[in-house]
Structure 1
Amino acid sequence: MTSRILIVDDDPHIRDVVRIAAEGAGFATAEASNGQSAITHVTREDIDLVVLDIGMPQMDGFDCCKQIRMHSNVPVLFLTAQDDEVDRVLGFQLGADDFVSKPFSPRELVLRIKAILARGKSAPVSALSHGALSMDSLRHSCSIAGMELGLTATEFSLLAILLATPEQVYDRNQLIQQIYGPNSTMSGRTVDSHLRNIRGKAKELGCRDILVTVHGVGVKLGPCSG
């Protein structure tokens, strides 16, 4: 089934560049020129990934992502005019899956899109459980004590890695390589943001021990007592 990409940017030229690259790679596309229109698309259509510009007037990309996350865990790839780590950290805290800085290579953008979609469709094994935590990669579902744990594609992949080997302690570089690939330039703060999101979402469901930090070493799956 062809994945559908929503392109959100107030600049029609940028939308054209992304659309041509995405459709050339075999994706279907939809377009929105502002954040409110993007939210309408996400809530009414089957969208597999959102390419979202940060610097839009009225509703910027961050506010748009907040609204999207109220309705959906669809993967979000931010387009940003500057390579600012503060913006990246904030974006990941809001549930973004990746960033591409303008000006960007259409080929790199397509590769990033494919990588995000692949993370959402794959996990080490199909179904796993540990304590009150259960995951099923085929259904892309995750729950704690029967309550749905809504995760982005990257958060899901990260938790699936930890769940596959619950006794193993992973350092930041190991997690970056497994999720983004061995040549990734992602920083450890990016992983920290995803882990913080997982902890926060699990805590809302009453699970305060989903992850355990081994000081000076890394992180591993916790007891997940629920």
Structure 2
Amino acid sequence: MKNKNVLLIEDNIELQELISNFLKDYNYSCSVYSQPLEALEEFEANHFKYSIVILDLGLPRMDGFDLFKKLKEIKNIPIIISTARDDIGNKIYGFELGADDYLSKPYAPRELVLRIDATLKRYNDSDEIQINDLLIDLNKKRVFLEDHQIEFTKIESEIFFMFIDNLNKVISREDIVNQTSLKDDTKNRTIDMHVSNIRFKINDDSKEARYIKSVWGIGYKFCDNN
């Protein structure tokens, strides 16, 4: 469910082309920026679509470490530093800021791909999953839409995470009653009301559902393959 969209911030044009073309060969989509302010503007608007950032430190008009901090303020996204600064002081500072990896130039593009694969695997093996625009923290039972946390009621949260535990499977209204705090409330209208509230909060539309699809006569199915 994780996407493979890379934000590459690098002002060396030749290296831009080399890296972006190489990543495409390994099925990564790569958006490239030379100017840090333009990259920051793009990330502010579309941060939810990126899975990882490759960041050069020697950028015009803004130091790479300053840009690193601004990116992390917008979203806690994995960042690999790609730089000619190979001294130990910069490496330590990069890791102290929260860099997931630090590659000193020059390096083989294949090494970068392997580092990206390894970094994303660590994130994919965590308790967070991404379904379209939704970021779901399974451990803390939190849901984010474009990095804004959704405030569910207790019942809504129970129903939502029941859906997530049964992705692409049909869940009956009876199952919802038996496995949530609804308990003995078997009124279909009550269940439908809670599901309708969930749909509204995750920006779903019952008429053209992206996530929660009604299954006539039975219940619902939460889909992740739109």
**In which range does the TM-score fall when normalised by the shorter chain?**
0.5 to 0.7
Greater Rg by CA:
2
Give the counterpart of 1:51 among 51, 54, 58.
54
Is 2:8 the counterpart of 1:7?
A: yes
| Separation (CA, whole Å) in 2 of partners of 1:9 and 1:141 | 34
2:27 corresponds in structure 1 to 26
Indicate the SS of the match to 2:80: strand
Which residue pairs with 1:94 in the alignment? 97
Partner Cα distance (1:142, 1:92) in 2:
25
Provide the aligned length of Structure 1 versus Structure 2.
134
Task: Report how far residue 137 of structure 1 moved.
Answer: 4.1
1:120 match:
123
TM-score by length of 1: 0.55
**Aligned-pair CA distance for 1:55:** 0.9
The 2-side partners of 1:52 and 1:8 are apart by 5
* Structure 1 match to 2:206: none
* 1:140-151 pair list within 5 angstroms: 140=137
Q: CA deviation at 1:141?
A: 5.9
Tell me what 2:114 maps to: 111
Q: Take 1:32 and 1:13, find their aligned partners in 2: how far apart are those partners? A: 13
Q: Is the 8 A contact 1:8 1:32 kept in 2?
A: yes
Q: Which runs of at least 4 in structure 1 moved beyond 2 Å after TM superposition?
A: 136-143
Q: Which amino acid in 2 is paired with 1:119?
A: R
Which residue of 1 is the match for residue 63 of structure 2?
Answer: 60
Q: Which runs of 5+ in 2 are unaligned?
A: 130-135, 145-226
Identity percentage over the alignment?
A: 33
Amino acid at match of 2:62: M
| Structure 1 residues 33 and 3: alpha-carbon distance in aligned structure 2, compared to 1, 3 A threshold | same
1:70 is paired with a residue whose SS is helix
CA distance in 2, matches of 1:140, 1:59: 33
Partner of 2:83: 80
Q: In angstroms, what is the RMSD of aligned CA positions? A: 2.1
TM-score, reference length from structure 2 = 0.55
